[in-house]
Amino acid sequence: MPSAAERFQGQPTENAREKSERQKVSAVKRCLQNSLKREDQSVAKMTAGDERIGSSSGSQMPRTISGSKEPDAKSSAS
C-alpha cells in the first residue's frame, strides 16, 4: 500500500491546480487578445482600402443612381 507521501506526490495540491488553471486562462486570454488585435488590423486595412476605392467609385454612384445617364428625363418630366 502506498504511503501518504507517495499518494500526495501523484496528486497536485489545490494551490498547484489553481495556479495551473490561472496559467491556462492567462494563455487563452493572451491568445484571444492577439487574435482580436490581428482582426482589428485586418479590418482597418480593409476599411482603408474601401475608403480609397469608395472615394472614386462613390463619386460616380450618385450620378448613376440619380439617373445622370438620362439628364433630360428629369427636365422633361418636370
Hey, how many other C-beta atoms are within 10 angstroms of the C-beta on 6? Answer: 9
Please report which residue ranges of 1-78 form alpha helices under DSSP H.
Answer: 4-10, 14-66, 71-77
In sequence order, which residues have a C-beta less than 8 Å from that of residue 12 and are 6 or more positions away?
20
Q: Give the pLDDT confidence of 20-73 residue by residue, as tens digits.
A: 999 999 999 999 999 999 999 999 998 887 666 555 544 555 555 555 555 555
Residue 60 has which C-alpha cell?
A: 460616380
Contact present, 55 and 61 (Cβ < 8 Å):
no
What pTM does this model have? 0.44
| Residues 14, 22 contacting (CB under 8 angstroms) | no
